[in-house]
Homo-oligomer: A and B are copies of this chain.
Amino acid sequence: MDLTYTAEEEQFRAELRDWLAGSIPPEWAEPGFWRSLDDDESFRLRREWEAAKTAAGFSGIQWPTEYGGRGGTPGMKAIYDEETVRAHAPQTVNVLGLTFLAPTVMAIGTPEQKSEIIGPMLRNEVIWCQGFSEPGAGSDLAAVSTRGVRDGDDFVVNGQKIWTTNAMHGDKIFTLVRTEPGSERHKGLSMMLIDMHQPGVEARPLKQMSGASEFGEVFFTDARVPVKDCLGEIGQGWRTAMLLLSFERGASGVGQYTEFRRQYDEIVEQMRRFGRSDDPVARQKMANCLVELECLRYHAMHILTQVEQGRDLGAESSMTKLQWSETFQDLWEAFDDVLGPEASLERPRPDVDLTPYQAQAMWSRSVTIWGGSSQVQRNIVAERVLGLPR
């Protein structure tokens, strides 16, 4: 065991920390800050801050320098995740593009796609959305009804996607379209890169139970997509999708731990405020969340080690998803539980605004659903890790 980073990595941490200290105003650290802005304003602020971050050399940490990345190590990426959370940096606006699309384009994109997509994405000149789910399909990504019909050099696309993050601020969307009429499930799909600024594409916000709108719906009505804007082979969209999803597997647990651990402390602070911190039963519940949080931290170090050793994580990422999502949900379940009747009041006292906490607690209900529900992840662990029969 050696849980330290290299000197070069620590040097990177110092530089990043410096830059973050200078670029993040103190008010961004307040729990309610981002909720206090309207959606467009919040997005604009984040977009600009992140473009500046790219200019300062702190984006695309592990990307090759030829793509404008930093060419860093997995350790640097883990440090990046940790330090940005610690500094209260805002959520990445291009998260799905950066996580999924960019590495896929690097791997199988045409030269034109590489040059047209990656740089502008990194500089936030183009915001990418992901369109993976369709209404009612949930975690079943092969249930694609959106269809594309060839018309000269274009496909004409009709259909609907749902649970699209940043749908209202997206410029382009990558999405699976059924291009072989009559095909079923994983066959006959193509991965398309679709310009959202055209008459045939309409995005609508999807309001969540918390009142916020992190997600949206995207409707395609005779949207036109040039054939050259397919990523990977036409008809082989499922293979592209699987490659794309494989890039989810990384060392993000370090950042998640840092974030959730801070949330733990914030909940503890509220327990103290409302006289609950001496209750032995409430203490057990919180401490059990801490057990799982610390395990997430160790797991992140384990995964980082695997990545550094060049091992394929494969189905292990399903364990990571289960651990972080269930732990996060349990933590906010504990918030509701240990604060008693105060938990559901927006302002239990005139000087206390619990709405940011309540929004987090409600958001926590979604994390076991999206990105492959806990039920789907358990199937994967049982079948692919433990080898139980289908």
The range of chain A's interface size is under 10
Q: Complex: how many Å from CA A281 to CA B286?
A: 13
- Chain A contacts with B in 242-294, Cβ cutoff 8 A: 280-281, 284
| Closest B residue, CB atoms, query A282 | B280
Specify which chain B residues have a CB less than 8 angstroms from the CB of A281 in the assembled complex: 280-281, 284
Contact with B along A102-141 (1 / 0, CB 8 A): 0000000000000000000000000000000000000000
- Looking at the assembled complex, report how far the CB atom of A382 sits from the nearest CB atom of chain B, in whole angstroms: 15
Chain B residue at minimum C-beta to C-beta distance from A279 = B280
Look across to chain B and name the residue whose beta carbon is closest to the beta carbon of A284: B281
CA of A281 to CA of B280, assembled, Å:
7
Write out the residue numbers on chain B whose beta carbons fall within 8 Å of the beta carbon of A284: 281
Chain B residues near A280 (CB-CB < 8 A): 280-281
Alpha-carbon gap, A281 to B283, bound state (A):
10
- Contact indicator per residue, chain A 281-314, by CB within 8 Å of chain B (1) or not (0): 1001000000000000000000000000000000
Q: In the docked arrangement, what's the CA distance between A280 and B280, Å?
A: 7
Bound-state Cα–Cα, A284 to B285, Å: 12
A284–B283 alpha-carbon span in the complex (Å): 13
Q: 4 A-B contacts, Cβ less than 8 Å apart?
A: A280-B280, A280-B281, A281-B281, A281-B284
4 closest Cβ pairs, A-B complex? A280-B280, A281-B284, A280-B281, A281-B281
